[in-house]
Amino acid sequence: MRDTGIGRRGLLGAALALGAAGCGLTSEADPVVVRAKTMAKARPIGDGSTADAGPQPLQPPPPERLEPGQKPPQFVVFSWDGAGEIGNGLFPRFRKLARDHGARMTFFLTGLYCLPESRRTLYRPPNNRPGASAIGYLADDHIRETLRNVREAWLEGHEIGTHFNGHFCSGPGSVARWTPAQWEEEIAQAVSFVTSWRTNTGFTDLEPLPFDYRKELVGGRAPCLLGQENLLPAAARLGWRYDASSPGARQVWPRKRMGVWDFPLQLIPLPGRSFELLSMDYNLLANQSRNSTKAPPVHYPGWRRQATEAYLAGFRRAYETNRAPFFVGNHFEQWNGGIYMDAVEEAIKRIADEKRGDVRLVSFRQLCDWLDAQDPAVLEGLRRLKAGQKWAPIG
């Protein structure tokens, strides 16, 4: 099932002891010092909404190529659609969880979450009226909190991608109908809202986002997992490194399409059922409560366990067999009493606890770095492994 997109709305404490494949952090500096040093050298860009603070802190060393016959590490990417903080504390909750467990994540920021509703007509969505949005706009105090959390997330080593803007999933204005040129127009507007929030909001008391978004932005996830065929040409033209908009695939090693890494959500086992579903919180919701976000609470304990075990089943199948990167998508939402947030938190904790030097909780951008450093022949060999097919050294 597809994500229908109804959701809208401390630095690491220990080194990651990761193996010889070379995508792990070798040390962790004091978070306060890292932040202060990074922000001190930030050079404002444009109206000061963003700034060039140099290389992103707390990144892994350059990746190394796998040796012949060497088992690949198990990559796990947790990503968040929208990445807005609407006062429910979920953005800082998962930033802290990442700090506590040595994880990096990707936050797909919705551009409109940086634009006040009073300035909504600045947004000209393709095939829709000016200012239209299927997810609404954030209150000013929530824009402030979103900006603060995005800033701190980047300083903590996470990636800031894009979830575009208006989240149109149906009707004549749906993203499924957009042309490549219209996707480029949408992306340009998303970048504009992120890089000009100071002008559009009038906020003068907030620090800038410490990155040049035109360089930081190298990938995204389309609303409702729609429109990738026409999005990919736009992504390729803009020099993006990946796209995470595919509506789902088996757990196999990724490949490039039009020169862009294709990172789909994946079909994973659903405990107690005979079928699989996409590795995203909304798809669990759709199956368990038929799209209801406030089902009877009597179901919550069982659904929470089932969701947790679904994530862990997907992870273990990859880890114990072909080692394909495992992708999970989420929204900062308290659907059905927050059980999906609890489930993904528990899954992150248990995956982190199972680390034996070969499990890496990374962002999509960091995964791109590792993939691009590998011998193409080695990657092609990994791609020949089917979902659930056990890895074995060749020769």
Evaluate whether residue 26 is within a structural domain: no
Q: How, if at all, do strands 276-278 and 326-331 pair?
A: unpaired
Question: Rounded to whole angstroms, how far apart are CA atoms 187 and 195?
Answer: 12
Give me Rg for the CA atoms of the chain.
Answer: 20
* 15 occurs within a structural domain: no
User: Between these two residues, 65 and 249, which has the higher pLDDT value?
Assistant: 65
pLDDT level of residue 198 (50, 70, 90 thresholds): very high
pLDDT digits 0-9 by tens, 67-84: 988 999 999 999 999 999
Does the pLDDT of residue 21 top 60, yes or no? no
Q: Does the structure show a pLDDT above 60 at 22? A: no
* Confidence (pLDDT) at 353: 86
Q: So what's the pLDDT on residue 180?
A: 98
Query: What is the count of structural domains for the chain?
Result: 1
In a domain, 17, yes or no: no
| 23: pLDDT strictly greater than 50 | no
CATH number of the domain within which 126 lies = 3.20.20.370
**What number is the average pLDDT over the span 108-119?**
98
Average pLDDT, integer, range 77-94: 98
- Provide the pLDDT for residue 17: 29
**Position 355 confidence tier, pLDDT thresholds 50, 70, 90:** low
* Statement: residue 309 has pLDDT above 90: yes
Q: Which two tokens stand for residue 132?
A: 């239209």
pLDDT digits (tens, 9 = 90+) for 361-391: 999 999 999 999 999 999 999 999 999 999 9
Which segment of 33-37, 94-98, 305-309 scores lowest on mean pLDDT?
33-37
Please count the other Cβ atoms lying within 10 Å of the Cβ belonging to residue 124: 15
pLDDT confidence of residue 27: 43
**Per the domain annotation, does 18 fall within a domain?**
no
Residue 24 pLDDT exceeds 80: no
**Would 188 be classed as within a structural domain?**
yes
Over residues 319-351, the pLDDT tens digits come to: 999 999 999 999 999 999 999 999 999 999 999
pLDDT at residue 25 above 90? no
- The domain of 314 spans 31-53+73-383
Residue at 58 is within a domain: no
Which pLDDT does position 248 carry in this prediction?
83
Query: Domain for residue 21, yes or no?
Result: no
Residue 37: burial class (beta carbons within 10 Å; 0-12, 13-18, 19+): middle
pLDDT level of residue 247 (50, 70, 90 thresholds): confident
Q: Predicted confidence band at 310 (pLDDT cuts at 50, 70, 90)?
A: very high
CA–CA distance, 296 with 290 (Å, rounded to integer): 12
What pLDDT does residue 195 have? 98
The one-letter amino acid code at 363 reads S
**Cα–Cα dist 108/88, whole Å:** 18
Whole-number pLDDT of residue 12? 28
**C-alpha to C-alpha distance for 185 and 234, rounded to whole angstroms:** 9
Cβ-contact 336, 88 below 8 angstroms? no
Mean pLDDT score across all residues of the chain: 92
Instruction: Tell me, yes or no, whether 61 lies in a domain.
Output: no
Say what the pTM is.
0.92
